[in-house]
């Protein structure tokens, strides 16, 4: 029997995590994270807020992010997203209406 190893986690609205969050698979944040965040595919929903030093393979920001981000692949800031701090990423997509107040360094070198 084959098992599905795709992991999916949610930090729901009204839930606050302070400290270090480490996730495999997709992590959806609808609540608040303060501290350090490491994940594969991170989505900050419109109602979510992250104040952290973050590392991820991919990240989508639809809510609020404040801190340092290092993304190995694509960082997408949706029209509802607000991002401030420092960004290092391979690709950056910013939708019309998004707020971006950050120092940004994008590298076009892909492995």
Res 5 pLDDT > 70? no
pLDDT tens digits for 11-55?
Answer: 999 999 999 999 889 999 999 999 999 999 999 999 999 999 999
Q: Please give the pLDDT value at position 108.
A: 63
Q: Please give the pLDDT value at position 6.
A: 76
Which residues, 6 or more positions from 1, have their beta carbon under 8 angstroms from its beta carbon? Answer: none
Count of CB atoms situated within 10 Å of the CB of 71: 21
Q: Please give the pLDDT value at position 2.
A: 47
Count of CB atoms situated within 10 Å of the CB of 98: 17
Res 3 pLDDT > 60? no
Count of CB atoms situated within 10 Å of the CB of 66: 16
CB 66 within 8 A of CB 81: no
What is the average pLDDT value for the chain, to the nearest integer? 91
| Domain limits, the chain | 17-102
Which residues, 6 or more positions from 3, have their beta carbon under 8 angstroms from its beta carbon? Answer: none
9 alpha carbon, distance to own chain's centre? 13
């Amino acid at each position: 029997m084959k098992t599905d190893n795709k992991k999916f986690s949610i930090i729901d609205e009204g839930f606050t995590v302070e400290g270090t969050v480490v996730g495999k698979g997709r992590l959806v944040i609808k609540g608040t994270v303060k501290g350090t965040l490491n994940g594969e595919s991170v989505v900050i929903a419109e109602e979510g807020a992250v104040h952290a030093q973050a590392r991820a393979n991919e990240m989508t920001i639809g809510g609020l992010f404040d801190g340092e981000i290092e993304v190995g692949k694509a960082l997408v800031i949706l029209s509802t997203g607000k991002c401030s701090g420092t960004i290092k990423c391979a690709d950056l997509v910013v939708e019309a209406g998004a707020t971006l107040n950050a120092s940004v360094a994008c590298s076009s070198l892909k492995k």
